Amino acid sequence: MARAVTNRRKSVNTILAWIVGLVIFFPILWTILTSFKTEAQAISSPPVFLFFDWTLENYGVVQERSDYMRFLWNSVIIAGGSTLIGVIIAVPAAWSMAFVPSRRTKDILLWMLSTKMLPAVGVLYPIYLMFIRLGLLDTRTGLVIVVMLINLPIIVWMLYTYFREIPVDILEAARMDGASLKEEILHVLTPMAVPGIASTLLLNFILAWNEAFWTLNLTAAKAAPLTAFIASYSSPEGLFFAKLSAASTMAIAPILILGWFSQKQLVRGLTFGAVK
Amino acid sequence: MATQHSRSAARLMMAPAVILLLGWMLVPLMMTLWFSFRKYLPLRGGDQGFVGFDNFVRFITSSAFWPSVQTTLVIVGGVLLITIVLGVLLAILLDQPMWGQGVVRILVIAPFFVMPTVSALVWKNMFMDPVNGLFAHLWKAFGAEPIVWLSDASLFSIILIVSWQWLPFATLILLTAIQSLDSEQLEAAEMDGAPVFSRFVYIVLPHLSRAITIVILIQTIFLLSVFAEIFVTTGGAFGTRTLTYLIYQRVLESQNVGLGSAGGVYAIILANIVAAFLMRIVGKNLDA
């Protein structure tokens, strides 16, 4: 019989959990709040939490001074493009590994995972050199390719774990009914695979958006996404807390929202199916 | 079952992903290996030929090497310790019945979605700034002298920032694992009069051991290559130069490609040792 939980215990849990949650979330909350302050209020002593003159001025200044929209657009192209291309390449691979497994499938999967473990800094110069030779340095195309490749193993893995949960019997039934490979994929598999593909797109978009090694090292001005744009605030001039906060808030807001939708897939995607 | 026809189709479908990853792995790896045996200074004379194991010896014997290994180990170890200990406690707390569990979960997970450059800069300026940071205000409120975090407690500061980013990941995975724990077992132990602490040590911890191992391995791989957090806060100064950062400086800042590549080979070997353990666990799971 399940033990009844006393309301008192539940209250204690609730209070404790909310305090811990708010402490962890506080830096984000503080950044969002500061983005609506004036620069003077942002550094006032003692700090003001809620009772200040709310202003949208910083958001305007950030866009005006740094052409924020261009960085945002670069981020969207790089994260979106790399994820989309990655999924297009990974779907057939994951499909065949899940439904037509061979003796080597496991080895191939593990080998793909091992490419993800390669430390980026170990191959920094070769990639840098290739980028110069191929004219890809500071281009969105170059970053789409690199970010796609570093996330491809995760994309294949996630899709594989989702596809493996699709019952094979249904596919066999479709085959018995004389469905061709194409029909099998289009009418039987696709509807069942869409949720998994959507989760994969979502999580990998987030990972690509936050990628901060290659985006920092392979871009200068033209193709720099938000990660690099924010890094340019590391050498500040004058008062800038409120503007930094506004720029940061704009850079993380879309991903925070997407992230909340993807929290369940996060575990599966990042542990390669080892924890579900 | 699978016909010859579907087998070759399967191979064809796998080909693009396999070929791309093979190229992505082999080509740069071969180039790094090649450069690591050469004296190569792009801005000072270019490629000056084969030097044997010279770069490997010089990289290890340089005065910056052992401190960077130590820094790397302190950061990885510190972050692992903090995220696992707090992660287990948080997972247990979040598993308890409460009001607004969904919202608390979101609050706890949020830092994971903040891009590394943002979290590093927010912590650096708005919390750790010795004049205007929140910590400085807090210290002054208690009459203490504010700490110049990123130079006087630089390693601790970096560990704090990186732990904040990775705590959600550890918590989420440990929470998922804890939720699969059979609650009847715990209740039986409680009825038998087992105190909270021994229930934790003998039932909860063993159940979590696999998840903890996975968290350790995955985080280690990512933590070994922490970059942006150092890049925008200290730039490798004040004893925060990790192995990754040292190689980055050799390759791109001082443009000593041969030396940097030798460092890269060491980093690859190090990461592979960790990866081998992870792969074994993941591989076992595939058979299940």
Give, in order, the Cα–Cα distances in Å from A158 to each of A212, B179, B194, B286.
22, 21, 40, 13
Calculate the CA B129 to chain-centre distance.
25
Integer angstrom CA distances of residue B167 from A11, A21, B142: 25, 12, 28
B188 near A CB under 8 A: no
Question: CA torsion sign, A164 to A166 to A169 to A175?
Answer: negative
Nearest chain A CA: its distance from B246 CA (Å): 10
CA distance B35 to B27: 12
B108 touches chain A (CB under 8 A): yes
pLDDT at site A263: 75
Instruction: Report how far apart the first and last C-alpha atoms of chain A are (Å, whole number).
Output: 27
Lookup: tokens for A201: 């797109």
pLDDT digits (tens, 9 = 90+) for B217-272: 888 888 988 888 898 888 888 888 998 999 999 888 888 889 989 999 998 888 88
Count other C-beta atoms under 10 Å from residue B277's C-beta: 13
If pLDDT is split at 50, 70 and 90, which confidence band does A169 have? confident
Alpha-carbon gap, residue B158 to B124, rounded angstroms: 9
* A255 to B164: CB separation less than 8 angstroms, yes or no: no
Residue B3: what pLDDT? Answer: 66
| pLDDT of residue A276 exceeding 70 | no
Angle between helices A241-270 and B101-109 (to 10 degrees): 110
pLDDT value of position B76: 92
Q: What is the pLDDT of residue B160?
A: 95
A244 interaction partners in chain B (CB closer than 8 Å):
121-122, 125-126
Residues 30-89 of B with CB under 8 A from A: 31-32, 35
Alpha helices in A1-139 (DSSP H): 7-34, 39-42, 57-66, 68-99, 105-116, 124-133
Domains annotated for chain A, with CATH where assigned, are: 7-57 (no CATH), 68-270 (1.10.3720.10)
**What is the pLDDT, as a whole number, of residue A1?**
39
Higher pLDDT, A25 or A190: A25
Is the pLDDT assigned to residue A3 strictly greater than 70? no
pLDDT tens by residue, A229-274: 888 877 766 568 888 899 899 889 888 888 877 777 777 777 776 6
pLDDT in tens, A19-75: 999 999 999 999 999 999 888 777 777 777 777 778 888 888 888 777 888 899 999
Distance CA B181, CA B272 (A): 32
Which residues lie below 8 Å from residue A175, measured CB to CB, with a gap of 6+? A184
Question: Which CATH number is B18's domain given?
Answer: 1.10.3720.10
Interface of A with B in 41-100 (CB under 8 A): 42-43, 45-47, 89-90, 92-93, 95-97, 99-100
Chain B residues touching A121 at Cβ < 8 A: 225, 227, 244, 247-248, 251, 264, 267
Question: What local confidence, expressed as pLDDT, does residue A79 receive?
Answer: 94
Which chain A residue is nearest to residue B121, measuring alpha carbons?
A: A234
Nearest to A181 among B9, B16, B274 (CB): B9
Give how many domains chain B has, as a whole number: 1
Q: Name the strand (E) or helix (H) holding B141.
A: helix B134-141
CA distances to A147, A155, B234, B248 from B151, rounded to whole Å, are 33, 40, 8, 21
**Mean pLDDT estimate for chain B:** 87
pLDDT value of position B153: 87
Longest dimension (CA), chain A: 76
Tell me: the pLDDT tens digits for B153-181?
889 999 999 999 999 989 988 998 888 88
* Angle A207-A213-A218 from CA coordinates, rounded to 5°: 115
Q: What's the pLDDT tens digit per position in A63-116?
A: 877 788 889 999 999 999 999 999 999 999 998 898 888 888 888 888 888 888
Which residue range is the domain that position B104 belongs to? 4-287
Low-confidence stretches of chain B (pLDDT < 70) are 1-3, 285-288
Q: Which of B227, B67, B92 is nearest to B161 (CA)?
A: B227
Interchain CB contact of B135 with A (< 8 Å): no
Q: Which residue of A has its CA nearest to B261?
A: A122
How confident is the model at residue B225, as a pLDDT?
Answer: 84
Query: For residue A238, what pLDDT is reported?
Result: 59
The SS3 of residue B218 is helix
Among B7, B106, B218, beta carbon nearest to A100: B7
Hey, of A14, A275, A276, which one would you mutate to test binding to chain B, going by the most B CBs within 10 A of its CB? A275
A191 near A134, Cβ under 8 Å? no
